[in-house]
Amino acid sequence: MSAADDHRRVAATFTDRVLGTTDWDAPAPVDGWAARDVVDHLVTWLPAYLEGNGVTGVGPGELSAVDDPVAAWQAHAASVQALLDGPGAAQQVDDPRMGTWAVGDLVNRIYTADIFMHTWDLARATGQDDTLDAETCAAMLAGMEPMEDLIRGSGQYGARVDVPADADAQTRLLGFIGRDPGWRP
């Protein structure tokens, strides 16, 4: 699946959870976050990261996820999709930590994956279906486990939460990224 197609699929599921949210102040599984903060995180960090690497024009524009999470997410998701569907996806980015990547591949690796994981956060915070694709969970976990020290050192993930060794892939992925799979608001 191409980076554009993967983003389209993952963002559509997240969009469904955004559209299904009725309480943007509901606590989220990330300590100190509410539902709106999940969206704010996703619409702010990627544009800043890309701009720092010479890629502009991605983001929610003037819309604020704090004020209007739905509109900000929709504008942001559309701008990321336009980037991935267009020639800018082939632009090379040289990140000192990640190496040299085509923008589309880098966005897929670090951002589309982030949307996928935060879908659980928003769904769990707002009482929606929090089921993630099992194959994607297993693949992400298999790719992340060998880099655990690097991942933990980034400060972007919490401490691993112990889960049963025979737990399903989603539960194991959630525990790996520092989420308590049993968390409830």
Closest CA to 148 of 119, 178, 115: 178
* Statement to judge: residues 8 and 43 lie in one domain: yes
* Statement to judge: residues 103 and 179 lie in one domain: no
Structural contact between residues 98 and 106, judged by C-beta atoms closer than 8 angstroms = yes
Closest CA to 15 of 65, 67, 58, 77: 77
Each residue's pLDDT tens digit, 97-142 = 788 999 999 999 999 999 999 999 999 999 999 999 999 999 999 9
State residue 99's pLDDT score. Answer: 87
* Statement to judge: residues 111 and 146 lie in one domain: no
* Statement to judge: residues 29 and 119 lie in one domain: yes
* Statement to judge: residues 119 and 30 lie in one domain: yes
* Statement to judge: residues 140 and 73 lie in one domain: no
Q: Mean pLDDT over residues 41-68, rounded?
A: 89
pTM greater than 0.85 (yes/no): yes
* Statement to judge: residues 23 and 108 lie in one domain: yes
Q: Assess whether pLDDT exceeds 80 at residue 154.
A: no
State residue 9's pLDDT score. Answer: 97
Q: Which domain holds residue 116?
A: 3-131
Of 98, 113, 131, the residue that ends a domain is 131
* Statement to judge: residues 125 and 36 lie in one domain: yes
Number of domains in the chain: 2
100: CATH: 1.20.120
- What is the total residue count of the chain? 185
* Statement to judge: residues 179 and 89 lie in one domain: no
